[in-house]
Structure 1
Amino acid sequence: MAHLRACLVLSLLVGLVVLGAWASPGAALEEADRLFLVGEKAFDDGLYPLSRRMLERFVERFPSERRAGEATLLLGKARLSQGAGEAALEAFKKAESFQPPPGKPGELRFWEAEAFYRLKRFSDARTAYSDVIAGGAAGPRVADALYGLGWSELEAKRREPAAAAFQRLVSEFPDHALAPTATIQLARTFIELKRAEDAQGVLQAFVTKNPEHKLAPEARYWQARARLAAGQTDQGVTDLRAFAKANPTSELAPAARRAVLDTLMKDGRKSELADEYTALMSQKPVSPDGLYDAGAIAERLGRSRDAETARARLRREFPEHPLTGRTSLQSAQAAFTKNAFREAATLARAAAKSPEDAVRGEAFLLVGESEMKLKRPAQALPAFQAAGDTAGLEPALHFRALAGSGLALEEQRQWTQAAKYYDEVAEKSPDKTLAAWARTRKAAVAANIKPAPKAGGKSEKR
């Protein structure tokens, strides 16, 4: 329905644009009215590219029109909605020149602050948000400015001022739409400041007042984390377990289970860890996070067979999940160190299906190295090349992959191609040892490279 409504609105607005293009001045809307109306309505309906075009035409053609200031402010907001922070800021600065300034008290300065924040100019954003707040309760944007100020302070790693901003918003504007989110962020900041009891206080007040609010589960999660931070370990663990059970699909459920496991491992509570392993393995529906955690628990308990059982299920039931890739890579690395190269190659190939570039690249590299240990250079070469082509792979691993490609080609007596890889490693690798090795290998294969045939001569068969 929302999409249909947007299409209908767009059709109407385009109709107005076309109408204005051929209608006589006395018929239909004047051009200024038409441009402003289309720009305003398009903005209200989220059609920001159209809104921006119409408003830019308006302010260019009618700079002295009575709505020019309002149009300039709205133009800045349309640009900001498109992610054009610098262009938005330019419009807001221009809007300041109008007398009186457009918008409600503090509104123009607030949008400047928003633009500064989007541009990561957090010091300027703090100043602008503070100006809005200093304008007093008469300004309708004070609560929004407090929220923005809190986040700006966090970006600057100034947690105490951030907490003060969020706390003032919660205290002075308890019914504001941003108050619940600010409450959560205030509690998280208190935890980081090691003020766990203060965090529990604000969260308890929120949950008591709003037990059915959509953020109440998240508040309960952070309340449990605050209890752990305050040393109330048993209660914190109990609350986190209850949260994970009551909200199995929440994006915080894996973090809750992980916090429980970390706490149990830290305290060495082996019997509870064993119970946790059993619970995770019998969980219905089973989750990739649960199987991953079960493997970690079994590993911690020294139960290697149980750890592999959990990881095998993870690979079988969730082959494309990021955690599967990480687990498979870890298992492959362990197998490689035990000289179990066939197993390492198999597990690394499973890890190479990961959607994460870093995991996928390292997995391809391990496939190549395992195949070389198995004396199968033809199978190793494409794996090394895939690793070398993986975006974002660490430089050390990237050059190991290039070196592996050279070695696989050398083993197949493809001397010229091997030399090219060795040249690149020798010239560009930050690892001096690897670069020196590449120079040695280049010298070794050079003797096998026959000179290029003279013009008109016959090519030599290699």
Structure 2
Amino acid sequence: MKTFWAILLAAAALACAAPAFAAETDEDEPLSTAKLTVEEAGRLLATGRAAYEDGLYRLARRRLEELVAGAPDKRRQAEGALWLARVELAAERPEQALATLDAYVGGARAQALAANYAWTRAEARFAQGQLAEAAAELDGFREKYVAQDVAPVALRLLARIFMARQDWSGAERVVELIEARHPKSSEAPSAAMELAAALAVARQNDRALATLARIETNYAGQIWSERAALKAIELQLAQGRRPETMDRLREMAANKSLRPETRAQGYRLVAEALGAETNYPAALKTIDQSIAAAENPVQRLESQVAKARLLLQSGATEEGRELLRGVAAKLPDETRAARLQLGLADELARMAKWDEAAAEYQVWLDAFAGAPGTAQVLAGRGWALWSAGRPEEAAAAYAQAAELETDPARRLELRQKLGDAQFASRRFSQAKEAYAAALAAAPTGSAAAIRAQLQLAESELELGETEAGEIRLLDLSRTEPATEFSRAAAMRLGSLYEDRGALESAIEQYGRVVETCAEPESCAQALLARGLIRYRMGAFAAAMDDFTRIRDEMPRTKPAEQAAFMRGWCFYLLGKDAEALRVCEQFLKDYPASEFAPDVRFWLGEHAFNHGDFAEGERRFAEVAAEYPDRPRAADALFWAGRAATAQRKYLAANEHYNALMARYPDSARLAETLLAQGDVLSELGQFAAAILAFNEVIVKFPQTPEALVAWGRKGDCQYTLGQETPDRYEEALLSYRTLLDFAGAPPDLRLQAGYKVGRCLEKMGRAAAALDRYMDVVYAFLQEEAPPAEANVWFTRAAFGAAALQENAGRWPEAARIYGRVAESGVPAAAEARARMDRIRQDHWTAP
């Protein structure tokens, strides 16, 4: 953040400095080598210096080269070479500057000229990072050249060299030397301010504050004192020392006796401090005061840039963008305007305002197309579009950037990104071409080449070129030594094999990753993948080994959470319920916010339910539903909470759980089952009419389903019960049971139950003969089943006993005995009871066997 705004402010400052070096398109004039007169040499020197000061470096270079080539004497030649070297330095060509100075140093005999040569040589060496050599060039300014006009400037450069070395004591001594030898020079306080800034950057805060305090005292009444005070306040604010500095800062900003520069900067610092506290209304009000107080155009521009920053941070993105655009538009120099516009786009990108950033990059492209940096801007726009989820547009930007980029490494990176954007756009053929180009450009065996190879394989797979893609992945997976990309290839192969059901091959690939993994995350991912396959294959002990290894060796990796979850399931499926319970309880302590927590808590409810602790089961199920209402387990949890309440005979509570399920999750797959369960609960509460409504809802909403079959039977049961008070309800019950009997594909036990209940209704209606027929239909149907389900035993027994009772009531003892005999011979649980009844009839009524 600070770097960005420092660049913007630097650009703003440059805007009001000497005009920039404008592009010159005229062809070079032939260099004159004619001998110059003293007067001509003087004019060329004056012209060259003026052009240099105005930033017209090409013109300055031409005129000074003419002077050097045709100088009437060595002194003037050396003087021309000195200024030519300064032009080269300004054009960021320190090597040429040094070569020029070396070529003509012999003519610099006068001490003033020699001093300037020494200073300029030091500047050139400093620009090249040759700190020791630069310092050696400046040694003469301590004594030999101390009286020269350039001495303060040279000593300030020496102080900078010490700062670059972080030799703070050396820098302080040089600053003191400037102050002692050149007390009236502005270079002394300038050097001291630079030292304070360098100390602050190096986190030598106490030393920086001491330096600033000395400036404030030594230059009291001067602008330097005010600047030092502001810099000290800025540093203290950065340290978080707000209470003791904000009041002083406000006082300085409001003090009209201080210079406008100081007040403007003070207001700006207050505004930035308020902005850091997110007090944007006050910050914006204060920055407007800074703009109003600033008389210097550069400072006003700085404050406007700061205001734009505050607007962006406060969420007033459009207003901030417009202001910064306006600032850029006021700059006469396109290069600096472009820099400001690019800074705006970069800042929006840093703030993750991707659509806005993309728009500002486009503004730059519309205004400065073809300017230096176009490839960089296109790349920035591509990234903003990619991050905004607009991969097709990102691909277009990356394609243009790659075409313009001249640096091979950057061009390679852009081709990779181009491929990624096209892949994300599902333009797999184009992605394949981009990755192939990246592969061709990347050094053989490099990370970039292997990455391109991996993405090329993915493109081939998406294009249906499965064999080519898998061969490429296989080659990558066998790369020696193993790399993150070779392991990624092996993981991808494992996933492909897993998807097609080749589980053993998948296990082999994941195992190769486990054997070669260099860092915990990839190793844990491979172990988890292998463990999950083993779990699917029923190899729970082997799966447990993988999950446990993750827990023991890689506890801080992402897969550790799921591995801990799966350990509980492995224990459960291995029949170790106590261990499973312990692992699940520990999981909730270790990962309370886990995505698996609802499943674990649901299982704990199941565990309690299955072990007969229905109260605990209800509590746990209800908690899952309450705490995870948007998770898939919520509806199931409410259903089982109702079942657990029913098991405790808490029918009202059960009904509340079922009502909640149907209200919150009307599309739940459990709806039919829930309506059935609710009907049963209402039946237990004696609310048979309400229960019938629940069963009817199942019948209407879910016809031709197993639940509908059950609902017809339960509805008949309610109607039968109501028939005890209203006999007409037996007819309704009879219709319900007969409807169930007519269902094609109804399971045998349900058909037998319905048949028995039809007989029971007929018996209640006084139609004994018809009831007997129905009872015996059930008996004969059961006996004809080769392997009747266990659930059918009870209906066979009840039907047989009901039929026998009717025969007994009619005095048909032999017929009754024969019916009991069929039950006795069937081997059902009631066989002994049936035999006893048969024997009693034969004994009491002399019935023959």
TM-score by length of 2: 0.42
Aligned to 2:250: 21
Give, in angstroms, the shift of residue 259 of structure 1.
1.1
Give me the whole-angstrom Cα distance separating, in 2, the residues matched to 1:163 and 1:426: 48
Whether the 8 Å contact between 2:548 and 2:567 is mirrored in structure 1 is no
Residue of structure 2 aligned with 1:169, choices 385, 396, 401:
401
**Residue 26 of structure 1: SS of its match in structure 2?**
coil
Aligned to 1:61: 289
Higher fraction of helix: 2
Give, in angstroms, the shift of residue 365 of structure 1.
1.4
Give the aligned residue type for 2:402: V
Q: How many residues align?
A: 429
Is it true that 1:74 corresponds to 2:303 in the alignment? Answer: no
Give me the whole-angstrom Cα distance separating, in 2, the residues matched to 1:2 and 1:440: 76
Give, in angstroms, the shift of residue 62 of structure 1.
4.6
Whether the 8 Å contact between 2:514 and 2:527 is mirrored in structure 1 is yes
Aligned to 1:405: 641
Whether the 8 Å contact between 1:73 and 1:108 is mirrored in structure 2 is no
Aligned to 1:221: 451
Give me the whole-angstrom Cα distance separating, in 2, the residues matched to 1:3 and 1:409: 69
How far does the alpha carbon of each residue in 1:41-70 deviate from its partner, in whole angstroms, 9 at most, with x for none?
x79xxx944896886244332555545554
Whether the 8 Å contact between 1:388 and 1:402 is mirrored in structure 2 is yes
Give the aligned residue type for 1:294: R
Residue of structure 2 aligned with 1:89, choices 313, 318, 323:
318
**Residue 375 of structure 1: SS of its match in structure 2?**
coil
Give, in angstroms, the shift of residue 359 of structure 1.
1.5
Give, in angstroms, the shift of residue 261 of structure 1.
1.3
Change (3 A) 1:5 1:39: farther
Give, in angstroms, the shift of residue 199 of structure 1.
0.7
Superposed, 1:265-414 pairs within 5 Å as 265=498, 273=506, 275-276=508-509, 278-279=511-512, 282=515, 287-296=523-532, 298=534, 305-315=541-551, 317=553, 322-327=558-563, 349=585, 352=588, 353-354=590-591, 357-391=594-628, 393-394=630-631, 396-412=632-648
Whether the 8 Å contact between 1:403 and 1:422 is mirrored in structure 2 is yes
Give, in angstroms, the shift of residue 442 of structure 1.
5.7
Change (3 A) 1:205 1:270: same
Give, in angstroms, the shift of residue 21 of structure 1.
2.8
Give me the whole-angstrom Cα distance separating, in 1, the residues matched to 2:440 and 2:416: 11
Residue of structure 2 aligned with 1:260, choices 493, 504, 525:
493
Give me the whole-angstrom Cα distance separating, in 2, the residues matched to 1:391 and 1:445: 30
**Residue 338 of structure 2: SS of its match in structure 1?**
coil
**Residue 245 of structure 1: SS of its match in structure 2?**
coil
Give me the whole-angstrom Cα distance separating, in 2, the residues matched to 1:2 and 1:305: 58
**Residue 316 of structure 2: SS of its match in structure 1?**
helix
Greater shift after overlay, 295-304 or 376-385?
Answer: 295-304
Give the aligned residue type for 1:440: G
Give me the whole-angstrom Cα distance separating, in 2, the residues matched to 1:400 and 1:2: 60
Aligned to 2:365: 133
Give me the whole-angstrom Cα distance separating, in 2, the residues matched to 1:442 and 1:91: 65
Aligned to 1:433: 672
Change (3 A) 1:277 1:112: closer
Whether the 8 Å contact between 2:382 and 2:393 is mirrored in structure 1 is yes
Give me the whole-angstrom Cα distance separating, in 2, the residues matched to 1:422 and 1:292: 38
**Residue 11 of structure 1: SS of its match in structure 2?**
helix
Give the aligned residue type for 2:322: K
Give me the whole-angstrom Cα distance separating, in 2, the residues matched to 1:442 and 1:269: 48
Aligned to 1:453: none
How far does the alpha carbon of each residue in 1:208-228 deviate from its partner, in whole angstroms, 9 at most, with x for none?
6xx9xxxx6466334323145
Change (3 A) 1:182 1:267: same
Q: Which has the larger radius of gyration?
A: 2
Give me the whole-angstrom Cα distance separating, in 2, the residues matched to 1:429 and 1:181: 50
Change (3 A) 1:303 1:78: same
Give the aligned residue type for 1:375: G
Larger relative contact order (CA 8 Å, sep ≥ 6): 1
Give, in angstroms, the shift of residue 370 of structure 1.
3.5
Give, in angstroms, the shift of residue 25 of structure 1.
3.0
Aligned to 1:452: none
Give the aligned residue type for 2:441: A
Give me the whole-angstrom Cα distance separating, in 2, the residues matched to 1:113 and 1:139: 17
How far does the alpha carbon of each residue in 1:385-430 deviate from its partner, in whole angstroms, 9 at most, with x for none?
4423445742x42232233334434444556655543442232222
**Residue 229 of structure 1: SS of its match in structure 2?**
helix
Whether the 8 Å contact between 1:406 and 1:422 is mirrored in structure 2 is yes
Change (3 A) 1:76 1:141: farther
Give the aligned residue type for 1:26: S
Superposed, 1:183-222 pairs within 5 Å as 183-192=415-424, 193-194=427-428, 195-207=431-443, 217=447, 220-222=450-452
Give, in angstroms, the shift of residue 271 of structure 1.
7.5
Give the aligned residue type for 1:202: A
Superposed, 1:34-53 pairs within 5 Å as 34-36=266-268, 48-49=276-277
Give, in angstroms, the shift of residue 30 of structure 1.
3.2
Whether the 8 Å contact between 1:381 and 1:409 is mirrored in structure 2 is yes
Give, in angstroms, the shift of residue 292 of structure 1.
0.9
**Residue 358 of structure 1: SS of its match in structure 2?**
coil
Whether the 8 Å contact between 2:494 and 2:507 is mirrored in structure 1 is no
Aligned to 1:421: 657
Structure 1 gap segments, 5+ residues each = 449-462
**Residue 595 of structure 2: SS of its match in structure 1?**
helix
Give, in angstroms, the shift of residue 150 of structure 1.
1.8
How far does the alpha carbon of each residue in 1:119-173 deviate from its partner, in whole angstroms, 9 at most, with x for none?
8673x65544322112235757644542343245446765444223113323424
Give me the whole-angstrom Cα distance separating, in 1, the residues matched to 2:617 and 2:394: 53
Give the aligned residue type for 1:146: L
Greater shift after overlay, 261-270 or 70-79?
Answer: 261-270
Give me the whole-angstrom Cα distance separating, in 2, the residues matched to 1:361 and 1:412: 24
How far does the alpha carbon of each residue in 1:71-119 deviate from its partner, in whole angstroms, 9 at most, with x for none?
3433333554x5x4x3233222244455844762273477369649968
Whether the 8 Å contact between 2:567 and 2:580 is mirrored in structure 1 is yes
Give the aligned residue type for 1:233: E
State, as a whole percentage, how many aligned pairs show the same letter. Answer: 17
